[in-house]
Chain A
Amino acid sequence: MNIPGSGIIKGLAVTARNFLGSYVEKDRLTTEQYPEERPKLPENARSFPFLVFDGEDPEAGMRCVSCKICEKECPPQCIYIVQDRDAAGKAIKRPKVFDIDISVCMSCQICVEVCPFESIRMDQDYELSSFDRFGSLVLGKSRLLKSNTYYRNIHPTEAAETDARLEADRKKKEAAAAAKAAAAEKAAAEKAAKAAVEPEVKA
């Protein structure tokens, strides 16, 4: 055993090193002066979900087709969707009401994973405190819909992947449509040819 008290002196030396070091080393002074200094969030950071729309008009560009998969899979059941109907009362692929109660939402991202239409994504907005629980913490469509540009801004890598996937899907669909059209044309041509042949047979 060494001199009594030497352990404490050694400890105090550590404290002194940390105190003095905090003036020169960024590593030892990690406090961020929020709100003057804003934290730089990593790309993957997530807060609450939002809905992505393409183009300029949120309603027209909405990707959500109201399939309600996210509503069913959400662990705390905080999504509420009502499907829209046209004038004749026929269901259309668009939500009339899309509410997320973010005071219940646990930011788990499962809705994002299960959505087959790439329409719901995680936001990074964290300044959401309010005095009004129902007025401002139950987000309706108007507050949930954000543009794809915004999405590209906050999650560049993920958005690029999504865009590529959507683009590939669109191309595939176009190709399929073109093939279908071509097939239809071919069939029509064949039919016409047949029709042209048949009278001869009759005659």
Chain B
Amino acid sequence: MSTSANTATISPGGMGVPPVCGAGSASPANLQTGGTPVLPERNQTIDVSLGPQHPSTHGVFRMNVTLDGETVTKLQPVFGYLHRNHEKIAEGNSWLAAMPYTDRLDYICPLTNNWAYALAVEKLAGIEVAERAEYIRVITAELTRLQNHTVFLGFILGDMGAWGSALMYAFREREKILDLFESLTGARMMCNYMRFGGCRCDLPAGWIQSARKLVDGFPAFLDEMEALLTGNEILLARLQGIAPLTAERAINGGLSGPCLRASGVDYDIRKVENYGVYNRFKFRVPRGSTGDCYDRFMIRVLEARESVEILKQAIAGIPEGPIVNPKAKQRGFRPPAGEAYGRIEGPKGELGFYLISNGSDRPYRFRIRPPSLINLTLLEELSIGTKIADVMVILGSIDIVLGEVDR
């Protein structure tokens, strides 16, 4: 993996020596100078630019890595290749028109993005949410979490160089969830489903039954995935003890979501804020201990299992009733002047929308707090001192999506 860099340049100071540092091989030039090979200076480093199109960088993300041998001494993330000016577009459009754009933030999890935005607007304008819609929101959000973590399990294997089986099994399972989304919202990924005060349309006939079937079958898939992965010696060697993170550093770095909990911090916004109807469901919040890559990996498996529990309860308890608050206006919506910050526990961490309204038909300020970007800020700290091949795994274990990092 370390050879798949796009460019490699020698840093100044290494004139006349071969580009491989620490190499003991004698080149003909060295031999001519008197028979004893001249070893390059020990402090020579090499700069490698990884990305932006490298598949293991999860999208158009670039890292300028400075290497001493294979050890990382410096890492500079370079992003912005996928910048779409999302916040400004939303400020120039109506409140409703910002909704489909939120699908495109973290495109793996459109429904949680919808929810975070709808939640912020509901907080801003004081809109009640229809009871049935609250349950549908929980169901779709937990399905989103399942598919995000499933994709994560597949991709982290890819980061370790095992493209193929695990990723395909994960995608096969994810596709079943996407089929559910498609039959409900009309699109696999760009759902644009939630509305202020509820959801856009009711569940189609038979949807709950298919969802129940999927949820009941999901633990079997997780078992299979665990049999495939968690005992695998190679995987353990590549994950255990790599890039540990203390709880204190994780908190100071502003991490959220699974990355934070992997370091042992008990902080889940579903429990802390009790948004939606989460307080009606019994579920546990898994935690890691050392915060190394293995903890970050396992926490997703455990969270997926808890999501299954929530889903079972929500599917069993879904009430009848209207799907959207009839008093909530969608078109020509003008919330009163003010500001609000709405946040949810997205699959990747705290996803928040900070909105300011001046009473007009479009947001005055539309700010997104993306979990991917903030979790990424500790990448350098985690990577320094590790081998270059581990950088990919560390990046994979943070679980970012560039649509959300760059916005």
Contact = CB atoms under 8 A, between A and B. Distances in A.
A11 B186 contact: no
Contacts of A107: 187, 190
B366 to A, nearest CB: 13
A12 B224 CA distance: 11
Given A5-B233, A7-B232, A108-B192, A75 B331 contact: no
A42 interface: yes
Interface string A84-109: 00000000000000000000001111
B257 to A, nearest CB: 27
13 contacts: A7-B231, A10-B232, A14-B228, A17-B224, A18-B169, A42-B179, A43-B183, A44-B182, A44-B185, A75-B89, A107-B190, A110-B97, A114-B331
A15 interface: yes
A8 B229 CA distance: 8
Interface in A1-58: 4-8, 10-11, 13-15, 17-18, 28, 30, 41-46
A18 B169 CA distance: 9
A42 B183 contact: yes
B331 A44 contact: no
Interface residues of A toward B: which range? 20 to 34
Contacts of B94: 73
Contacts of A167: none
A6 B230 CA distance: 12
A8 B233 contact: yes
Interface string B6-20: 000000000000000
B108 interface: no
3 tightest Cβ-Cβ pairs between the two chains A and B: A7-B231, A42-B183, A108-B100
B165 A15 contact: yes
Contacts of B201: 44
Majority secondary structure of chain B interface residues (helix, strand, loop or mixed)? helix
A62 interface: no
Contacts of A110: 96-97, 100, 192
B30 to A, nearest CB: 42
Given A107-B190, A122-B186, A10 B224 contact: no
Contact of B182 (A45, A108, A157): A45
Nearest to B96: A110
A113 interface: yes
A106 B331 contact: no
Q: Taking each of A5, A7, A11, which has the highest tally of chain B beta carbons within 10 Å of its own beta carbon?
A: A11
B186 A4 contact: no
B101 interface: yes
B363 to A, nearest CB: 13
Contacts of B234: 8
Interface of B: 89, 93-94, 96-101, 165, 169, 172, 175, 179, 182-187, 190, 192, 200-201, 204, 224, 227-236, 330-331
Contacts of A114: 331
Contacts of A44: 182-186, 201, 204
Given A11-B227, A17-B224, A46-B187, 8 more contacts: A8-B232, A42-B204, A44-B184, A45-B187, A46-B186, A69-B331, A73-B94, A107-B187
Interface of A: 4-8, 10-11, 13-15, 17-18, 28, 30, 41-46, 69, 73-75, 106-110, 113-114, 122, 157
Contacts of B96: 73, 110
A6 B231 contact: yes
Contacts of B235: 7
A74 B94 CA distance: 9
Nearest to A28: B172
A122 B200 CA distance: 15
B100 A18 contact: no
Nearest to B101: A75
Contact of A11 (B98, B182, B231): B231
Nearest to A22: B172
Contacts of B200: 109, 113
A14 B179 CA distance: 25
B248 to A, nearest CB: 31
A189 B191 CA distance: 59
Contact of B330 (A17, A74, A113): A113
A18 B330 contact: no
A99 to B, nearest CB: 19
A42 B203 CA distance: 13
A117 B169 CA distance: 46
B246 to A, nearest CB: 27
B192 A10 contact: no
Given A42-B204, A113-B200, A113-B330, A15 B228 contact: yes
A109 B330 CA distance: 13
B190 A106 contact: yes
B304 to A, nearest CB: 17
A43 B224 contact: no
B233 A45 contact: no
A106 B97 CA distance: 11
B300 to A, nearest CB: 18
A114 B236 CA distance: 54
Contacts of B99: 108
A179 to B, nearest CB: 28
A11 B224 CA distance: 9
